[in-house]
Amino acid sequence: MSQHTFSPPADKKPRNKKGKSLPPKLIIRLGKFVWTTMWQIMMSKLAPSNKSGEYIRPNSQFRNFIGTQSGNLYQPAMGRYNLIVGLGCPWAHRTLVVRALKGLEEAISVTIVSPSPIEGGWVFNQEYEGCATLAELYGQAEPGYGGRFTVPVLWDNQTKSIVNNESAEIIVMLNSELNEFAKNPTLDLYPQELKEKIDSWNEKIYTSVNNGVYRCGFAQTQEAYDQVCDELFTTLDEIDRALHTNRFLCGNSVTLADVRLFTTLFRFDAVYYGLFKCNRRRIQDYQNLGPYLRDLYQLKGVADTCDLESVKQDYYGNLFPLNPGGIIPSGPDPMFLKEPHNRENIAKEANPV
């Protein structure tokens, strides 16, 4: 009788007791607990919330103005002021759009910053005022500053100080306080007779749309998300109806209300629709909002302020809590923005004589 070594069947190989793995259920539970805890910590720093889990945006803290009033530290001047912006940021984008529409490119310079996950904030593409990061510049302008280091920043080259870091106020200044240096000084994006209407739209759009998409994306409870998402799309539906009879929000002329809405709409389908869970409907799919977006994009100079690839890189590549893998989506195709909008005679078509 020949001797041989016993070999168990292939499906019954001896188990390596030293290399036992945890049951999948425990791995999932542990992974979910660890990730949820880390996510909550990161979100508390990225997006502070109230007790209901709703995102609360902190206020900007530098609120000075350019003006010709006697004693004003910040007087209008050619080349004195510089805009510090991130190309992916919708709030900073507003200032670039107004600068382009007014023809202030020669009067106001622009410095670009980019988000850095390593630094945890904005960094200069090239050293600026001896600073490598925007946080350093804030600290240089106001030693001991403890607020957020946000863009846009309206910087005064003469006094080496921050004039203002609130986009809503910067665009008002750009519209009216530097007309003597503007190529389009007669263009008034905030005319007196429309201020009440513009302010009304601005308040509604800021709460429900501009900040509404962030409130959706940064919501930390289902209840907070559901409430804000309803509010967002209710307002978008209202705007779409209003645009059926008006080329722009306040009539047939573009205003600051349109500028403030545009920078959110430009990012919506590419970023907010997926990453921020605002996916009930794309802006392209609206009867009036889609063509309206193209109309604004095709105004002279506006397209030059738009960088969709930077937008996607900034959001998908740097908002780690929302996109841990950092994968950048390939779409959407920006060519749709160049398609005809056919809104030049919208008021005449809606109200025929």
152: tokens are: 């846009």
Encoded tokens for 4:
């041989």
pLDDT of 44: 56
| pLDDT score of 1 | 47
* Residue 12 included in any domain: no
- 210 and 289, same domain (yes or no): yes
**CA 326 to CA 321: how far, in whole Å?**
10
155 and 207 share one domain: no
**197 and 335 housed in the same domain:** yes
- What CATH number is attached to the domain comprising 300? 1.20.1050.10
Residues 203 and 259 in one domain: yes
Range of the domain at 159: 81-181
338 in the same domain as 215: yes
Taking the CA atoms of 191, 197, 200 and 204 in sequence, report the sign of the dihedral they define: negative
Predicted local distance difference test score (pLDDT) of residue 137: 97
Residue 50 is predicted with a pLDDT of 67
What is the rounded CA–CA span in Å between residue 53 and residue 226? 11
Do 214 and 288 have their domain in common?
yes
Same domain, 239 and 261: yes
Question: Do 196 and 177 share a structural domain?
Answer: no
Residues of the chain with pLDDT under 50: 1-2, 6, 352-353
Residue 9: its pLDDT value, please? Answer: 54
130, 160, 181 - which closes a domain: 181
**Among residues 101, 294, 92, which one has the least CA distance to residue 190?**
101
The pLDDT of residue 244: 97
User: What is residue 340's three-state secondary structure?
Assistant: coil
User: Is residue 22 included in any domain, yes or no?
Assistant: no
Same domain for 164 and 283 = no
**Pairwise CA distance, residues 338 & 334, whole Å:** 8
Strand-pair category, 109-116 with 121-128: antiparallel
Position 186 in a domain? no
Same domain, 212 and 137: no
pLDDT at 55: 58
**C-alpha distances out from residue 296 to 170, 232, 348, Å:** 20, 21, 19
Sequence-distant (6+) residues with CB within 8 A of 98 are 104, 171, 174, 175, 189, 256, 259
Number of domains making up the chain: 2
pLDDT value at residue 62: 83
231/323 same-domain check: yes
H-state helical runs in the chain: 24-46, 90-102, 134-141, 167-176, 195-205, 212-217, 222-242, 256-267, 289-297, 308-318, 346-350
Q: Which residues are catalytic?
A: 89, 214
pLDDT of residue 346: 86
- The CATH number given to whatever domain includes residue 106 is 3.40.30.10
